[in-house]
Structure formats: C-alpha cells, structure tokens
C-alpha cells in the first residue's frame, strides 16, 4: 500500500553521516516524502550510486543546491551542513516561509560572542538567531510546535542535559559537576584524517578537547535556561572505537542524603510521559540504544547517599542528531511525536 505523503522535505548535506541517517529514517516515515537532496557535487548523481544501500529505496538524485528549485518542491528543510554554512542558507529559506531544522551549531547559542569564540566565525544572522528554538522536545515541546526555525541539539549535549536537568530543577545536586563522555568517531563527521582511519580507531580510545570542547557552552547555557542553575562544569570527551553511540558518565554530589527510590521518583516526574527517555533499574548499556531514538538513563549511589554517578547513553547519529531532528519535525508539522521513529 502506498503511503500517504503530506509533507515534502528537502535535506541539505546528504553525504555526511547525519545526512545519510536522515535519508534512511525519513524514507520509513509514513507522512513525509523526500523531494530534494543536496551536497557538494559537481553534477547531479543518483543518491543510490553514492550509497548503494539505497538502491530500490529511492530514485532521487543528489545535486548542488538550487534555491529556486528547492523552494518549489519542498516545504520543510533539514540542514545537515558544516557549522557556519547554515548562516548563509537559513535567512533565505526563512524569508520564503519555509520551516527549517538546522543540525549545525549555528542557532544553538543565543550569545553571538560565545558562538564566535568556539566556532571561530562571526554570526551573520542575529535576527533569526533570536527566534530559533532549541530542539529538545522533552522540555521545550510547546515552543517547538510553534516554531519555524529549530536548532537541533548537539549529540553530547543531549546525553548530558537529559540526565542532569531534573536533578538541577529539583535543586538536588551541588553546582560542581564532572562529565566523562565517550563517543563514536562518527560524531566528528566524514573527514579524511589519519586519526579517523580504521586502523587508528579500531580498539582505540583517547580523550580530546578537555574543558574546551565546543559543546561546553551549549550544555551550560541550556541547563541554566531550563533549571535556573549555574554549574561549575568539567567536561572531558573521548573518541572510542565503536561504530555508533555516546556514553556519558556524570559525577554529582547531592546536597542531602539521597536513595534510589527518591531518585527514581524525580526522574519519573519528568520522563514518565516522554516517549524517548527510558530510566533503567540498572546502569544503561550502549548496545541497548544504538539504532534507536532512545536516551537510556541509570544511576548508582555511594553507601552514604551523598555521591552518585548518573549514566546516560544515546545513538549519536539518531537521538543525538537525525532522530531528534525528525522528532522535532513531527512536532512542527502536527504529527505524532513518535511517527517514523519506533
């Protein structure tokens, strides 16, 4: 039976890991039709020729961006583009009344000076920056539904903000927080670097950008916005030789003695009715979320109940990028939040 297509979408940047994952997921969506694919290619080329796994699943061509054509054949756009590139494209699409979900960092940080510091570029679209909504449906669903421009969260931030926000909102933990996070190398995108070669990645693990990673200001500003709490945040990311996923181990100090029962009640208060956050009885495992749009959260407390580790894991390309973007699209278009994702 042919699926009913109610929304036409264009995906800009379909040769990266995130763009490829968007195509894969949206092809399964019951209410959306992909009508336009772009990338940096000299001549139009069948997408299935670039990625043979799509043979028989789509006959679309991938081509260089043509604004006039894009505007005619798509209603909502996913921008899976390098940081700073979206700044040149969003104003044009937004002016023409299109809905946009940007998967870069260009509209996540409300302070242009902070953006310039971490992304080494002047923010050239301050007007639309003011109206962009941060795309974390678990806390900003109402705002996302009303928005025409959503800034999709970064992968590390999703894995940190979801487990920490309830604790901060309930004023349960001290401001000093340490995060040790490990990500598949796919989070860095498709780049021809020696460190990304299979022989260097496989069975390997290394820390990088401790304290200065570009996701630090995103995590701290969003946590403050959601909870009203400013944190003393230490973040150490690691690249790990696995195919996909992020695992974040968060070290917290409780302001008063805590037990597992109380902590379960806190998380249940915030996530009992959310479709993609699962609070586990045991510490979560990465393989349980890879290939899904779920964020799994678990925790362990010391004997005195004053120290704890909160662990979370996601698929970095799905809940950390493409899946979360589709979740936002569903809200923007009035679809069921889980449509195409379960």
**What stretch(es) of the chain map to CATH 3.30.360.10?**
155-315
- Beta bridge mates, 180: 236, 249
Percent of the chain with pLDDT over 70: 95
Which active-site residues does the annotation give?
A: 155
**What stretch(es) of the chain map to CATH 3.40.50.720?**
7-154+320-333
Tell me the CATH number for domain 7-154+320-333.
3.40.50.720
Q: How many CB atoms lie within 10 A of CB 52?
A: 8
Mind listing the pLDDT tens digit for each residue in 48-77? 999 999 999 999 999 999 999 999 999 999
User: What distance in Å separates the CA atoms of residue 197 and residue 195, rounded to the nearest whole number?
Assistant: 6
Global pTM? 0.94
pLDDT bracket for residue 1 (50, 70, 90): very low
The per-residue pLDDT for 193 is 60
User: What distance in Å separates the CA atoms of residue 43 and residue 319, rounded to the nearest whole number?
Assistant: 32
Largest CA distance in the chain: 64
Domain 155-315: homologous superfamily in CATH: Dihydrodipicolinate Reductase; domain 2 (3.30.360.10)
Mind listing the pLDDT tens digit for each residue in 28-41? 999 999 999 999 99
User: What distance in Å separates the CA atoms of residue 109 and residue 92, rounded to the nearest whole number?
Assistant: 20
Burial 219-228, CB ≥16 within 10 A → b, else e: bbbbbeebbe
């Amino acid at each position: 039976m042919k699926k009913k297509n109610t929304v036409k979408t264009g995906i800009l940047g379909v040769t990266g890991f995130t763009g490829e994952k968007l195509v894969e997921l949206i092809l399964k969506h019951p209410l959306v039709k992909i009508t336009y694919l772009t990338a940096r290619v000299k001549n139009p080329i069948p997408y299935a020729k670039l990625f043979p796994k799509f043979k028989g699943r789509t006959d679309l061509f991938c081509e260089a961006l043509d604004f006039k054509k894009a505007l005619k054949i798509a209603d909502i756009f996913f921008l899976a583009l390098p940081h700073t590139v979206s700044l040149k494209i969003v104003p044009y699409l937004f002016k023409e009344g299109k809905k946009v979900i940007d998967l870069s960092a260009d509209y996540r940080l409300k302070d242009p000076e902070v953006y310039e510091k971490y992304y080494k570029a002047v923010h050239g679209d301050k007007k639309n920056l003011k109206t962009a909504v941060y795309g974390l449906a678990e806390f900003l669903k109402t705002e996302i539904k009303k928005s025409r421009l959503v800034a999709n969260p970064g992968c590390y931030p999703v894995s940190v903000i979801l487990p920490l926000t309830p604790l901060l909102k309930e004023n349960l933990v001290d401001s000093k927080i340490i995060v040790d996070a490990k990500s598949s190398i796919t989070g860095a995108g498709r780049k021809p670097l020696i460190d990304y070669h299979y022989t260097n990645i496989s069975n390997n693990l290394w820390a990088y950008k401790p304290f200065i990673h570009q996701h630090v200001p995103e995590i701290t500003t969003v946590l403050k916005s959601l909870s009203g709490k400013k944190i003393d945040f230490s973040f150490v990311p690691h690249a790990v030789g696995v195919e996909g996923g992020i695992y974040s181990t968060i070290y917290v100090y409780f302001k008063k003695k805590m037990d597992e029962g109380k902590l379960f009640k806190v998380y249940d208060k915030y996530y009992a009715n959310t479709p993609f956050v699962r609070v586990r009885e045991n510490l979560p495992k990465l393989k349980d979320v890879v290939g899904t749009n779920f964020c799994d959260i678990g925790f362990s407390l010391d004997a005195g109940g004053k120290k704890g580790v909160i662990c979370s894991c996601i698929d970095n390309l799905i809940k950390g990028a493409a899946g979360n973007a589709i979740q936002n699209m569903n809200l923007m278009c009035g679809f069921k939040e889980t449509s195409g994702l379960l």
